[in-house]
Structure 1
Amino acid sequence: MKRTEPTHGEDPAMPAQPADGSGDAVIALAPDQVMAGAAVYSRSILAAYDVWVLGFVCSAVWHCPRRHMLKHYDRNVGRRHLDLGPGTGFFLDRCTFPADRPQVVLADLNDEVLRKTAGRLARYRPAMYRRDVLQPLEFGAARFDSVGMNFLLHCMPGDIKQKAVVFDNVLPYVVKGGRIFGATVLTHGVRHGRLAPKALESLNADGVMSNKDDSLADLDAALGARFERYQLRVRGSVAMFEVSVV
């Protein structure tokens, strides 16, 4: 696993998408499991997410305080950035972009997530797309310097081999030297704290997470099969990955 420093290419066409998503193309219906995973994030859940999940759970349960994921954003985020499953936009709101006016695109199946994050990032005038990341993303001529997918994989159905199609779907839109990065909670191959096993069991049973078969070895294999240069860091139950596209 090798690491390279991020570089940024020339300006491509960006998605000509209204910020309110009104111009979105019709997409095929996603499988029920995909929709169920997205639907968990209601307005009330999103209101508590930063304090409860990113504040308490990340530190006390997953043993990966959110500051480490913020550093992950700071290290990898580019001027033209696509975020898949942006949650509340916590990290996008706080990270240091390499430009005063970055171009930010948000993609998620959940309209509440898109509205929440877009409102928080209104200063960047982000474009919003309702997309199932397991399907072709259909961004046309758009190209990005970075793609983030923080806490996305562990919410997606299937095992890592099935989820890894998200890397295939996004790769055509990343410029040479661009970065693909994210973090995910794993069940196997990482060192869990005392609270993690029961939390994983409960969250998978409730459909909040879908990672009972996710392992560090499978994530490493999925990245290694697709990318020449990548790095994995493990902190507690969380694996943070970053890829340099060549």
Structure 2
Amino acid sequence: MSERVTEKGQAIYSKKVLSIYDFWVLGVSNHLFWKCPTRKISNHFLDCVSPNHLDVGVGTGYYLKNYLPKKTKRIALLDMNRNSLSEASNAISHFQPEIYQADVLNMHDLCVEKFDSISVNYLLHCLPGNFVEKSILFENLKNLLSDEGVLFGSTILGKGVEVNFCAQKIMNIYNKKGIFCNFDDDYDSLSKSLSEHFSKVDIRIIGCVALFSCKNKKS
């Protein structure tokens, strides 16, 4: 998978788009289209986040700035989009975050101390290919996770879930433009991909969205 292909789904995140991201995606789209209110994802974040955390595919840093524990000792950001990294790091500057600009599908191992939790929210449906190809992300990230750590996140599925008329129209447009690549993403393929790398996998479906958490990484 070339970095250029991966970059296509991330290129939309300009400063202008990021300025309306929270309103459009977390406010409007989650409620009206994907039928998974943002509070559900927020609660999932709260349940899984640790004081030693890595956020991947950072967006605006919404979950970090609103739900990072006050006792957080270490927070890191990983994204290939410089605009997103800047936006998110500014939002939590008081935590002095570590910043890594990298493509999660092509990155080399980062020589850093491992994390006790890693979040991947709304990134998988933007990555190219099917879950066989996207699962490279899980392989790469589990190498950054401590033995007792948890990998968790959320993704919009394009198959095997109830999609209303407006949601289908939006999804079609996003896939055509290369913003999404999720027509073949379903529960079974997500579960299979996660189970290849972790022995304990939990997935909940809310609307079109899969909320997942994984522990006990496999060697």
TM-score scaled by length of structure 1: 0.85
Q: How does 1:1-246 map to 2 (within 5 A)?
A: 30-97=2-69, 100-246=71-217
CA RMSD of aligned residues (A): 1.4
Look at both structures and tell me which one has the larger radius of gyration over its CA atoms: 1
Residue 96 of structure 1 deviates from its aligned partner by 4.2
Identify the structure with the greater helix proportion: 2
CA distance in 1, matches of 2:4, 2:196: 28
CA contact (8 A) 1:37 1:208 kept: yes
Q: Secondary structure at the match of 1:217?
A: helix
Q: Secondary structure at the match of 2:194?
A: helix
Q: Secondary structure at the match of 1:209?
A: coil
CA distance in 2, matches of 1:114, 1:68: 24
Residue 137 of structure 1 deviates from its aligned partner by 4.1
Residue 245 of structure 1 deviates from its aligned partner by 2.6
Q: 1:150 to 1:137 in 2, by over 3 A?
A: farther
Give the fraction of aligned pairs with identical amino acids, expressed as a percent: 32
Moved over 6 A (4+): none
Q: Secondary structure at the match of 1:39?
A: coil
Q: How many residues align?
A: 217
CA distance in 1, matches of 2:27, 2:108: 31
* Letter of the 2:198 counterpart: F
CA distance in 2, matches of 1:155, 1:219: 14
CA distance in 2, matches of 1:95, 1:134: 27
Point out which structure has higher relative CO (alpha carbons under 8 A, 6+ apart): 1
CA contact (8 A) 2:3 2:106 kept: no
* Letter of the 2:205 counterpart: V
Q: Secondary structure at the match of 2:76?
A: strand
Q: Show the counterpart of 1:3.
A: none
TM-score scaled by length of structure 2: 0.95
CA distance in 2, matches of 1:199, 1:233: 23
* Letter of the 1:65 counterpart: P
Identify the structure with the greater strand proportion: 2
Q: Secondary structure at the match of 2:77?
A: strand
Q: Secondary structure at the match of 2:143?
A: helix
